[in-house]
Amino acid sequence: MSYQSLHLERDGPTAILTLNRPEKLNALDQQLTCEFHIALDEVAAGFPDIRVLILTGEGRGFCSGADVCDFAETLSPLKNQTMDHGPDPMQSEAPSDESILTVGPHIQRIPQPVVAAINGVAAGAGLAIALACDIRISSEQGRFSAVFIRRSLVPDNGCSYLLPAVTGMGVALEMALTGRIYGARWALQVGLANMVVSADDLMGEAKALAAEISSNPPLAVRATKQLMTSHIPDIYRIARLEHEANGASADSEDRREAALSFIEKRQPIYKGI
């Protein structure tokens, strides 16, 4: 299948999925989100010929989260003090299985182990996507942020479970409550990254790891992934609970101020309303 916003290629038994919106640091808009889900289904259907998936980004970003500018016009009427801001793709009645809010859970659902080759910023939903992968290799340029709080949101894509599961509750709460940006070496120290390598070595290391995994019996690899992640609750249910939690701020002044200040590149002014 031909894709516009990502590349999907084969390298022997390894599939490589590259998000391809480098001018937006591979932020998820509706087009990329739709293609992401389709590509994951294509990879899953290729098992056992496709035994491992490598996920990475084109350019300087791994994935910078949801593309706020993709729905900027739904927020612009606020300047005229009207509440009629139209449909927001982040605020549908419930996240469907092919929503921007369920890319992370979809990654976890496919049978193949997924290796994240984190080439740059992984923020918001991009952080959640990295956490949904089974193994994370970061380049020295890797940057990690649970930026949700700075958009007047709670974590999504299962991140509210996966982040403390990977890093521990203290680190997870620090990330989630501050929205700070952390470097690759810090991520390695707290277990967010399995290894950190140079940018030039990133894909080579990811492919070598994928080849090592692929050399093992595919049915045993699949079963091992399933068993070792079986403690994870229904990740789709978690995504729905996150969505409900975000509902409280969906029509708040602070939620719109967070998005508009980001778009307008200024400091936000929050009022708690």
* Predicted confidence (pLDDT) per residue in 59-116, tens digit: 999 999 999 876 554 444 333 333 232 334 334 445 566 799 999 999 999 999 999 9
Q: pLDDT tens, 163-172?
A: 999 999 999 9
Structure tokens belonging to residue 59: 């350019």
pTM score: 0.87
Handedness of CA 130, 131, 132, 134 (dihedral sign): positive
Enclosing H/E stretch for 104:
helix 103-109
User: What is the phi/psi pair of residue 120, to 5°?
Assistant: -170, -140
Architecture of the CATH domain 6-199+218-263 = Alpha-Beta Complex (3.90)
Q: Is the pLDDT of residue 224 over 90?
A: yes
Contacts of range 84-87, beta carbons closer than 8 Å, 24 or more positions apart: 85/256
Query: What value does the CA radius of gyration of the chain take, rounded to a whole number of Å?
Result: 18
